[in-house]
Structure 1
Amino acid sequence: MKYRAVYWICFPVLAALLFIVKYNRTGIEQTLTDAGFSLSFLLVQLFILWGYFSIKHKRAINITKDYLGWGDVLFLITIVCYLSPVNYVLFYVGSLILVLFYVITANLLSTKVSQQIPLAGLQAALLAVLMAIEIYSPTTKLYDDSWIYYLVG
């Protein structure tokens, strides 16, 4: 807690557990297909981020050095094992917006402005809330997109 860090071994263990849960609910083909689409989305996002900062600084830059922590990247990779592609994109975008509002509000209310954002921790807390909702709401399935299509259509 003092260093706001997580042991790296927690990520592959969590990924394996989430993979097993999704595999038991959807099967291996759907699990691997969804993970592939979500991972592709994440890699495109990271490439765009890398490109933006590289152009801005006029040299290739390591985004995990100053802009994005390894814990953030590993967490986003970990959750591709459970979330369906549409749920992953919605979670990714929604959690970034909520974290942004949280950080802005916290900095406005505090005299000490922090330069670091606990992105993975706040995203993990949000995911925990969503998974708790999923347990008590039989229509909400984070591992399947059908509930979203039902709400929209």
Structure 2
Amino acid sequence: MILLSGAVLIVLAIIAYQDFKYRAVYWICFPVLAVLLGIHKTIDNGFQSLLTESLFTVGFLLIQFLVLWLYFTIKYRKPINLTNGYLGWGDILFLLAVCFYLSPLNYVVFYVGSLMASIIYALANRLISKKDTLTIPLAGIQALLFALLLIIAHMMHLNFDQDSYTLYKLLPL
């Protein structure tokens, strides 16, 4: 299990490095990450859990992309391509890869939290940099945050691949 976790962290580091440095990531990193995370979740919770929870998280993500597409389509009064200047393929593929590990509740929390961190990064970068156009390494930021989440989960014996753990152990009800 340590080798598997180490491999996941290496792939996350590669994604973060490439996205911050080049604003592009080799596409093969994302299916490798998805497979490694899927194996990790299957070992921890079983194949049935992987399938059902991945379907929920992928469905949530597709709804998010549909809402985003509708927003820009209404705003510009014509259909738009989200991957043409709004969202990179690496960002989409990273979010899909993470679907194979996090439980639905934890996925939503990670998704919202990582988007807020990306906004903070963009605002800070905008203040520092005087460029007219600003690109955000969303997949890189999310890869760093996900790596940090995995390291903290390992050190503190937390389990973010099950909602029951989050609901009963972390949330004061």
**Bucket of the pairwise TM-score, normalised by the shorter protein:** over 0.9
Structure 2 runs not aligned, ≥5 long:
1-17
Structure 1 residue 46: Cα displacement: 0.1
* Structure 1 Cα separation of the partners of residues 142 and 133 of structure 2: 18
Counterpart selection for 1:56 from 53, 75, 89: 75
- CA–CA distance in structure 1, aligned partners of residues 87 and 151 of structure 2: 28
Match for residue 139 of structure 2?
120
Whole-angstrom CA distance in 2 between matches of 1:20 and 1:113: 43
**Aligned match of 2:167:** 149
Match of 1:4 among 23, 28, 34: 23
Letter in 2 for 1:96: L
State the shift of 1:114 in Å: 4.4
C-alpha displacement at 1:7, in angstroms? 1.1
**2:44 is aligned with 1:44:** no
Q: Hey, what does 1:98 align to over in structure 2?
A: 117
Cα separation, 2, equivalents of 1:124 and 1:116: 16
**For 1:14-39, what per-residue CA distance to the aligned partner results, in whole angstroms no more than 9, with x for missing partners?**
10010000000000111111100000
- Give the paired residue count: 152
Q: Tell me which amino acid in the other structure corresponds to 1:149.
A: L
Unpaired runs of 5+ residues, structure 1, are none
> TM-score scaled by structure 1?
0.94
Q: Report if aligned partners of 2:91, 2:138 keep a CA contact under 8 Å in 1.
A: yes
Contact 1:107–1:113 (8 Å) recurs in 2 = no
Distance 1:66 1:113 in 2: 15
Asked if structure 1 preserves the Cα contact closer than 8 Å seen for 2:91 and 2:139, the reply is yes
99, 110, 132: which one aligns with 1:80: 99
- Over 4 Å off, 4+ runs: none
Aligned partner of 1:131 in structure 2 is 150
> What RMSD in Å do the two structures reach over aligned CA positions?
1.2
